[in-house]
Amino acid sequence: MQKSRIDLAAILDVDLIGDNIFRGNSPNAADERVFGGQVLGQAMFAACRTVEARLPHSLHCYFIHTGDPGVPLIYEVERLRDGKSYSTRRVTVMQHTKVISSLMASFHKREEGAFNHQDKMPEVPGPEHFGADKLSKEPVYPHLPEIVRRYYEPDRPVELRPVEIARYVGKKIEDGKLHMWMKAATKLPDDPVLHMCALAYASDLSLLDAVMARYGRTLFDGRILSGSLDHAMWFHRSFRADDWLLYAKESPSAQSGRGLARGLIFRRDGTLVASVAQEGSVRERR
C-alpha cells in the first residue's frame, strides 16, 4: 500500500478552548515523546492567533520536560506588550497541569530599513542531486541506518535530503559544517504565518546532530543520549516552507555534556530567510 504524505498544516493547527488558551495534539500517540519542533510550531501558531497585522521575527523557547504524545498540549498565551512597532507574547505549554515548555515570541510591524545585508549561501548541489533514486545507487546506501533511509519515505511532514550522506557511516566532517535540503511534504496555504510556524517545526530536525559531525558519529548512535534544552530562531525575509530550503548547520562548541548548534536557512536563490541556535544535552551512554 502506498504511503500518503502527512499534512504539516494539520499538525500545527491548534483549537481555541478558552480566553487565549489553545489545545494541540500530536500526530502519533505511539511516539516515545513529543517532537520539540511540534511544540515550537504549535506554540508559535497559538501566539500568532493573538496578534494582528504583525509577523513574528524571533522566538526563544526552553524545553523543560518531555511531552507525552498521547495527551493534548495546552498552550496558554500571555499578551505582554502591544507597542507601536512590536508585540510580545509568552506561551506556557502544559500537560497534566505541569509546564513542559516556555516560549517567548516577538512580532514586528513591517517597515523599510536603512541597512540590508546577509551572509552568502554555501555552494552545495541542489536537492535534485540527493533524491532517493540517486541515493539508492550510491555505494554507501546499503550501509545507511534505517532511520536515515526513513528521511526519504513519503509519510513524513517534512522532506529531508542530507548533503553529506557519508557521515552517517562514519565519515568525519573536519570543519563540522553540515547541509540539508528540506521542505514541507505537502503544499501549504498562502499564509505567511503558517509558513513561519512550519519552518519553526522543521528547524528542530537533526540540528543537534551537527555536534557529532567532527567525530564521524551521529545522534542515531545508540551510545549517545541527547535532548534539546532550548531553541532560538530569528526570521529575516519572506519564504515558502513548501519550497526547497537549504539548512546550513554547524556546532561551534561542545563541553560539559552540552553542545551548541546553530544554523542558517536559505531559499534556493541564495536569500537568507532565518537563523537558528540550539543548545542540547549530548552525552555518551555509560
Residue 101 to residues 15, 74, 92, 93, 168, Cα–Cα distance (Å): 18, 10, 6, 5, 31
Active site residues: 204, 226, 278
Residue with cell 543537534: 208
Nearest-angstrom CA–CA distance, 286 and 284: 6
User: Is residue 41 within 8 Å of 12, Cβ to Cβ?
Assistant: yes
Q: In what order do the strands lie in the sheet with 73-82?
A: 15-18, 21-24, 73-82, 86-95, 98-108, 55-63, 224-235, 272-284, 258-267, 245-255, 178-184, 158-162
| Residue 212 main-chain phi, psi, to 5 deg | -90, -10
